[in-house]
Amino acid sequence: MTTRPTRALAVTALTGVLTGGLALLTAGTAQAHSLTSSTLAVRVGEESVEATVSVAADTLDTVLGGSATDAEVTGYLAEHLTVTGSDGSTWTETWSSVVRETVEGIDSYRVDVVLDPGGADPSAFTLAYDGVIAADASHEAVVVLTDAAGEISTAGVLTATDDTLVIGDGGRLGTGLTDMVGYGLHHVLEGADHLLFLLTLLLVAPVAAVAGRWRRRDGMRPTARSVLAVVTAFTVGHSLTLLASALGWVTAPSAPVEVLIAVSVGVAAVHALRPLARRGEVLVAGGFGLVHGLAFAGILTDLGLGGVTSVPALLAFNVGVELAQLLTVALVFPSLYLLSRTRWYPVVRATGALIALVAATTWALDRLGWLADPLAGVEETLIANPWWVVAGLALLALVACTTGPLVRQDDAARTTDRRALARLG
């Protein structure tokens, strides 16, 4: 027969492994929003076409086998970019100097190229690009198009199975909104800071702050309302700043934004340990959601999206972000709710919050340039297996529900808590 101390120790150990795996799984992509995709911002003019290719420095350096020189960068990109006109002729490429920049905490190479159609129609051409994609089949290249009238659209996403894109002359022109939804979806699912922020806030959805401590909510309905409030607050927050930034109303440098996002995860973790305020999770979700929206805007700015004409693409990207949030809730929250009905949950919540706090601290120090991520090696191993975390949490919930009784409070405590929880909704 398993004793309570032994069971508690087992729960603590298993919880630590699973939540640690979650943090490590996500930490590897905390600054990897641009590592798995390149961008091509294409601008169609009256007589020529200009394009800007942006790719993460670490990604391209890995392909080239070391720290690349400017000549190696432009040479590689020129080799993997071909543009042909509607008449079948190959356009001449004139490459500019390499610019090294930081986007969302990622060191990137940015290179401009002028494409000369040789007198042919510059609005109709076929773009073929497999930079990095040729070496890594999981890599993608997002193409953003600005036509001669100044209309901005997402033309498509180039992949290992489809690395060409026809512009004009019956090809795809401004029809890449579906691709942009997918880009927003993957951006969140591969962006650990956004994801861990939401997951940490979900840790407290099944509980409510009563007299400065966490108490279990009585039933599914108030718990569901709590989840809805958190997700809605986060959505409103990041949508406001994403749209405001796209319209040019708000601007912010990426470096402090990335540090603040790490801080947001830390604040959510502290709140999960002990409530900072009544309904604090909603305040944290909405307030720091504004900061996360600035980070989303930074990625879209790098894609060349901005101004009123880009609003449809921005909205499509935002739809993808919301789908990622809903998918995260659907996959993770049922397990958290079942765990909250058992005596194991205080340990699960506290352990998860502590892991998130460690991850947030590591990210902040890394983004400030004070400490390189010490977990990078382990993280890369876990990145490719996100379903391990989902399945692990489900298994933990199943074990907790089948090996121990549900939480039961004494009658006096139950009466007091119900009165307090009734006021909290």
What is the radius of gyration, based on Cα positions, of the chain? 24
Question: Could you read off the pLDDT of 124-134 as tens digits, one per residue?
Answer: 999 999 999 99
One-character DSSP codes across 358-382: HHHHHHHHHHTTSS--TTHHHHHHH
- With contact defined as beta carbons under 8 Å apart, do 167 and 127 qualify? yes
Q: For residue 93, what are the β-bridge partners?
A: 115
For the segment 410-417, the average pLDDT, to the nearest whole number, is 42
For the segment 274-298, the average pLDDT, to the nearest whole number, is 91
- With contact defined as beta carbons under 8 Å apart, do 184 and 327 qualify? no
Residue 70 has what pLDDT? Answer: 93
Residue 407 has what pLDDT? Answer: 62
Reading phi first (left if > 0) and then psi (alpha if -120 to 50, else beta), residue 49 is in: beta
What whole-number distance in Å separates Cα of residue 224 and Cα of residue 229?
Answer: 9
Residue 406 has what pLDDT? Answer: 64
Domain ranges of the chain: 8-33+190-424, 37-176
What whole-number distance in Å separates Cα of residue 32 and Cα of residue 189?
Answer: 11
Residue 108 has what pLDDT? Answer: 87
Q: For residue 214, what are the β-bridge partners?
A: 209
Residue 253 has what pLDDT? Answer: 82
Reading phi first (left if > 0) and then psi (alpha if -120 to 50, else beta), residue 298 is in: alpha
112 has a pLDDT exceeding 60:
yes
Residue 5 has what pLDDT? Answer: 46
Give the closest residue to 144 by CA, choosing from 131, 154, 132.
154
Average pLDDT, the chain: 81
Neighbours of 48 (CB within 10 A): 16
Residue 81 has what pLDDT? Answer: 97
33 has a pLDDT exceeding 70:
no
What whole-number distance in Å separates Cα of residue 16 and Cα of residue 189?
Answer: 22
CA distances from 19 to 326, 334, 377, 391 (A): 20, 16, 18, 12
Q: How confident is the model at residue 408 (pLDDT cuts 50, 70, 90)?
A: low
CA distances from 248 to 145, 256, 265, 298, 306 (A): 19, 18, 27, 12, 8
- In a 13 Å sphere around the CA of 149, the CA atoms on its Cβ side amount to 6
Which pTM does this prediction carry?
0.73
What whole-number distance in Å separates Cα of residue 46 and Cα of residue 347?
Answer: 64
Give the closest residue to 90 by CA, choosing from 127, 41, 59, 57.
127
Question: Could you read off the pLDDT of 190-241 as tens digits, one per residue?
Answer: 777 888 899 999 999 999 888 888 998 888 888 999 999 999 999 999 999 9
What whole-number distance in Å separates Cα of residue 195 and Cα of residue 175?
Answer: 29
Which residue, chain included where needed, has tokens 């490429």?
Answer: 93
Which residue, chain included where needed, has tokens 């600035």?
Answer: 294
Residue 13 has what pLDDT? Answer: 44
Among 73-77, 92-96, 252-256, 355-359, name the one with the lowest average pLDDT. Answer: 252-256
